[in-house]
Amino acid sequence: MTEAPAQHRPADPSGTPWRMRPRHYLMCRPTHFDVRYAINPWMDPAKPTSTALALAQWENLHDLLVSLGHRVDVLPPAPGLPDMVFAANGATVVDSRVLVARFRYPQRAGEAQHYLDWFRANGFGTVMQAKWHNEGEGDYLVTRRMVLAGTGFRTDRRSHVEAHELFGRPMIRLDLVDPRFYHLDTALAVLSDDEIMYYPPAFAPASRRLLRDLFPDAIIADTADAEGFGLNAVSDGHHVVLSEVATGLAAQLHERGYQPIGVDLSELLKAGGSAKCCTLELHPALAGSGP
């Protein structure tokens, strides 16, 4: 694998190249995983699921992230909350400040207290729950300079205001229009400080224009890779962990100097989630990381 061009390897204020900075993630084992209800188009309670297979696939993802040099903490799962495995939806963490989700659907509402308790017990000084519906990193994707803020299906636009007040970052509103891509992290992935990949048809026309203006060199996913949840990816700025079926995206990533790593999370996809949904990044405070 050749090294990425310099513009794809920004440095943080410590001088460490972006791709070499270890990340800190929070995950939750799918001990109670099942599809008992349908709150997105991918869920069908009539289809059989295997908790054992979901656990095995999740363990592979967890172990992969650890093998890449990242810290992974694990939130204890709770019975009766089968979607708790999708940790990205539980909160947004920017500069070590935490905005815990307020889930739109009652089936997931009980998850929020577990996230509040975990963050309060683990040294995060500012921890609050959203007043308005807000589904964490599912709809808030953090870059060095801004927060890309999805809305349209799960997160209330009014939550963008409270997130801005807490994080002090510009909130870039992006309107989602295709119910298959009900969270921003199903239609867009942040790859590095200044690079993203996304699926334009998931967004309203004005949001497409905004993304083109902000990220003119973005990687564009085709329909097959988007429907295969290839954009629900975890990037550390060099390695990009994504659905193994998203071969077109993998090829584009390779051309840009990234190292794509395909994973099989097909069992969890039955509930509408893949690698990113399972992985909440706990963004640390970095000098000079504000707007």
Taking alpha carbons only, the member of 145, 265, 267 closest to residue 194 is 145
Q: How many percent of the chain have pLDDT more than 90? A: 87
* Position 282 confidence tier, pLDDT thresholds 50, 70, 90: very high
- Mean pLDDT, range 283-290, rounded to an integer: 54
Residue 20 pLDDT: 54
pLDDT tens string 75-102: 999 999 999 999 999 999 999 899 999 9
pLDDT for residue 108 is more than 50 = yes
pLDDT tens string 182-241: 999 999 999 998 899 999 999 999 999 999 999 999 999 999 999 999 999 999 999 999
* Position 69 confidence tier, pLDDT thresholds 50, 70, 90: very high
Residue 193 pLDDT: 86
Q: Are 238 and 244 in contact (CB under 8 A)?
A: no
Cα–Cα distance between 225 and 180 in angstroms, integer?
13
Residue 158 pLDDT: 96
* Position 21 confidence tier, pLDDT thresholds 50, 70, 90: confident
pLDDT for residue 17 is more than 90 = no
pLDDT for residue 280 is more than 60 = yes
Task: Starting at the earlier edge strand, list the strands of the sheet with 234-235.
Answer: 234-235, 239-243, 259-263
Taking alpha carbons only, the member of 281, 278, 283, 282 closest to residue 87 is 278
Between 11-25, 59-73, 161-175, 239-253, the lowest mean confidence (pLDDT) is in 11-25
pLDDT tens string 244-268: 999 999 999 999 999 999 999 999 9
Q: Are 47 and 35 in contact (CB under 8 A)?
A: yes
Residue 3 pLDDT: 28
Residue 285 pLDDT: 66
Residue 40 pLDDT: 97
* Position 12 confidence tier, pLDDT thresholds 50, 70, 90: very low
What domains can you pick out in the chain, each with its CATH number? 20-189+271-281 (3.75.10.10)
**Which tokens is 35 given?**
């599809």
**Which tokens is 39 given?**
């709150």
Residue 104 pLDDT: 97
* Position 72 confidence tier, pLDDT thresholds 50, 70, 90: very high
Residue 254 known to be catalytic: no
Residue 194 pLDDT: 85
Residue 277 known to be catalytic: yes
86 φ, ψ (degrees, to nearest 5): -85, 75
pLDDT tens string 42-66: 999 999 999 999 999 999 999 999 9
Measured at the CA of 85, the angle between CA 34 and CA 79, to 5 degrees, comes to 60
Q: Which residues have CB under 8 Å from 35's CB, separation 6+?
A: 43, 44, 45, 47, 49, 82, 270, 271
- Among candidate residues 160, 238, 277, 278, the one labeled active-site is 277
Measured at the CA of 33, the angle between CA 43 and CA 104, to 5 degrees, comes to 55
- Among candidate residues 183, 238, 239, 283, the one labeled active-site is 183
Q: How many percent of the chain have pLDDT more than 70? A: 91
pLDDT for residue 291 is more than 60 = no
